[in-house]
């Protein structure tokens, strides 16, 4: 079975705080891809990152960083020095290698960054 | 470079009616996927079109149907609308060849069924 769990439904932080969004996944495949998307109030899902299962190197992009750990089936997302514009719902998603068409989504974490 | 565009952005229908939603993929993309996102939920996969054919389908009834045109644009049709069909409908485009699964989404069509 494939499943993505985002245990944190809502997070509220004050601007400039660091915040980590958790993502735990389940899959029987050895090759798969993990994604993070941001959904601001406008509704559009914005692609943030894709990680291959065979590449466990962590990635940093500006204030964003991702920690991929296969041993714990987790793909956590950290925002450093959060800003009000980071307020959005963040989704973690999974796609297996043999399936080019369907993403399995978590329920999302709603992040509110307060001034 | 135009991204994914969807129309209409908002619409209101009554139970039993039919609705058609439209999507133009990102320039150069040949594959269109449709997702339904209920309030407070993650997107649910409806189906995907490539080469004008439905290639894969999620767990949605036959009331949900689609079409893809030669220019890669797509339509989602929902017949006999139910209250539970109220949701944000998202269109996503991608490339099949060399595609590692990255989807580009439109802003969605918010459907309210009364």
* Nearest-by-Cβ selection for A42 from B96, B101, B107: B107
CB contact under 8 Å between A45 and B48, yes or no, is no
For chain A, say whether B38 makes contact (Cβ under 8 Å). no
- What's the sign of the alpha-carbon dihedral B39, A45, A2, B44? positive
Chain B residue with minimal CA distance to A110? Answer: B40
Instruction: Look at residue A4 in the predicted model and tell me its pLDDT.
Output: 95
Q: Which residues of chain B make contact with A102, given a CB cutoff of 8 A? A: 33, 45, 48, 56, 58
CB contact B7 to A (< 8 Å): no
**pLDDT-wise least confident of A16-20, A53-57, A108-112:** A53-57
Pairing of the two strands B109-113 and B10-13: parallel
pLDDT tens digit string along A77-107? 999 999 999 999 999 999 877 655 678 899 9
Q: Give the burial class of A15: count Cβ atoms within 10 A of its Cβ; 0-12 exposed, 13-18 middle, 19 or more buried.
A: middle
A interface with B, Cβ–Cβ < 8 A, is: 33, 35, 37, 42-47, 50, 52, 91, 93, 95, 99-103, 105-108
Nearest to A109 by CA among A68, A59, A63, A75: A75
Q: Which residues contact B9 (CB under 8 A, 6 or more apart)?
A: B107, B108, B109, B110
- Region A37-54: mean pLDDT is 89
Least CB-CB distance to B100: which of A42, A50, A105?
A: A50
How far does the CA of residue B79 sit from the closest CA of chain A (Å)?
23
Which chain B residue has the Cα nearest residue A4? B42
Our CA-based measurement puts residue A55 at a distance from the nearest CA of chain B, in whole angstroms, of: 14
- pLDDT, tens digit (0-9, with 9 covering 90-100), for A49-67: 988 898 888 888 899 999 9
pLDDT of B11 higher than 60: yes
The token duo for A45 is 């899902």
What are the chain B neighbours of A42 within 8 Å (beta carbons)? 107
Question: Does the pLDDT at position B74 exceed 90?
Answer: yes
């Amino acid at each position: 079975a494939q499943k993505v769990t985002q245990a944190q439904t809502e997070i509220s932080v004050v601007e400039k705080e660091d915040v980590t969004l958790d993502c735990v996944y389940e899959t029987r495949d050895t090759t798969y891809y993990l994604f993070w998307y941001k959904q601001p109030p406008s509704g559009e899902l914005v692609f943030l990152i894709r990680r291959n299962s065979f590449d466990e190197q962590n990635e940093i992009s500006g204030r964003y960083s991702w920690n991929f750990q296969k041993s714990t089936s987790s793909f956590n997302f950290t925002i450093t020095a959060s800003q009000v514009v980071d307020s959005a719902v963040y989704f973690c998603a999974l796609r297996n290698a043999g399936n080019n068409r369907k993403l399995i989504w978590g329920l999302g974490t709603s992040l509110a960054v307060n001034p | 470079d135009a991204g994914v565009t969807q129309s209409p952005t908002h619409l209101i229908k009554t139970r039993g009616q039919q609705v058609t939603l439209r999507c133009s993929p990102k320039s150069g993309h040949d594959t269109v996927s449709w997702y339904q996102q209920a309030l407070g939920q993650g997107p649910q996969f409806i189906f995907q079109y490539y080469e004008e054919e439905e290639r894969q389908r999620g767990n949605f009834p036959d009331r949900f149907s689609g079409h893809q045109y030669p220019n890669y644009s797509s339509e989602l049709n929902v017949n006999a609308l139910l209250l539970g069909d109220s949701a944000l409908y998202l269109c996503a485009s991608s490339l099949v060849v060399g595609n590692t699964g990255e989807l580009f989404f439109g802003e969605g069509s918010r459907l309210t069924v009364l």
